[in-house]
Every structure is written in structure tokens, then in C-alpha cells.
A = this chain, B = another copy of it.
């Protein structure tokens, strides 16, 4: 299947999923691409093209069945299962992420919290006990967790990424403001909060 889908398309599909959840909650049953675009300030032809990559989800002359399309997208992203996650680095940000509701429902489940600081090991956050990094590999074997969230300080990020790779983690969401040297088998998605602020400040200073 289309493994060559761009990040742009995939990320828009996630947005459509949020919109559909919203509409289903409101009790809307059918919607056309034009109405969806109007309602959430999207592009109708882009919605159709994005969706058409994965199947004929709509009905010509009618539109899309909100609930059915939502289920299709949930299925596309394997969100019907509970995808296990672990977090390495339980500082301020790691703690907040551990408590973040979106990581406990909606297709994800936190199965481990790790920190190299012996002071933190043994504490409980969000119902899980913080464990030392040596225990990542056993957790991977036990739970089949494939996704790791990296929330360590910038200095430790490269080394911590290597620990995740060595333990068998297959993809990493990196919150450290550092460009990691990637292992080709373990893709990294970076989330750098300052990047967004910097863009907004630039635009404010330069008139959009």
C-alpha cells in the first residue's frame, strides 16, 4: 500500500480526523468536501485528493458519511488498537506528556517511564513507576512497544536516542531542541516548541 504518502498528506488526514470527531459529536451525519472545507477553513479539492489516496470513501452527489469516514481514518492510523508508548526523560516536559490525556486514550497507551536520574527512579507519575534506562529493552520485549518519546535535555538527547535504538524502539518523537544523527532504521520526528514561537515572532516583526 501507498507507503510513499507525504507527511503533509498524513498530517492533514489527522486534522480531518479531529474535524470528523467534532462533527460526529455534534450529531452531523453526512458532509460534503465543500462543507467540511468551509466549516474548518480547509481546501475541498485537497480533502478529496487526500482521501482518494486511500480508497473511495465518499458517495458522488451526496458526500461523506461522517461516522464511517472517521472509522476509516481511525483504521488507517491503526488507532483502533492501543499503540504502546514509552517516555525517556521524566523532567517537567516528560511529566506533562505522561499526564497528557491524548497519550492514554485515542489509540495510545503509555507502558513505561524511564529516567537515568536515580533520584527519580521509583517515583510514580500518571500511574506508572519511573524505571532506569537499562529496563527499556525488557519493556520492549514484554510489551512490543515500538514508539519512544524523547524528553531529555538537549545535551543528553543523542545518547538517549542511541539507548532507545539499542533497546529496539522503532520510531522516536524528539522534544529536545537538537538535530539528532539518525539511525536509518529508526525515524525521528522533531517537536521543537521554540521553532513555532520564533516563526510567530518573525511574522509579527515583519508584518505577516
Contact = CB atoms under 8 A, between A and B. Distances in A.
A147 B197 contact: yes
The CB with the most chain B CB atoms within 10 A, among A1, A189, A196, is that of A196
A202 B1 CA distance: 11
Interface stretch (A11-19, A55-63, A114-122, A134-142): A11-19
A181 B95 CA distance: 31
Nearest to A98: B92
B1 A198 contact: no
Interface in A153-208: 170-171, 173, 177-179, 181-182, 187, 189, 191-208
A28 to B, nearest CB: 15
A107 to B, nearest CB: 8
Interface string A1-21: 111010100110011011100
Contacts of A203: 3, 171, 187
Contact of A201 (B77, B182, B204): B77
Contacts of A107: 198, 201
A97 to B, nearest CB: 8
Contacts of A103: 193, 197
A198 B77 contact: yes
Interface in A71-129: 76-79, 83, 85, 92-93, 95-97, 99-100, 102-103, 106-108
Given A95-B96, A195-B15, A76 B178 contact: no
A41 B188 CA distance: 13
A90 to B, nearest CB: 11
15 contacts: A3-B206, A11-B195, A18-B177, A22-B178, A41-B179, A78-B201, A93-B100, A102-B193, A170-B204, A171-B200, A171-B204, A173-B196, A173-B200, A189-B200, A191-B193
Closest 5 CB pairs of A and B: A96-B96, A14-B195, A171-B200, A92-B99, A40-B179
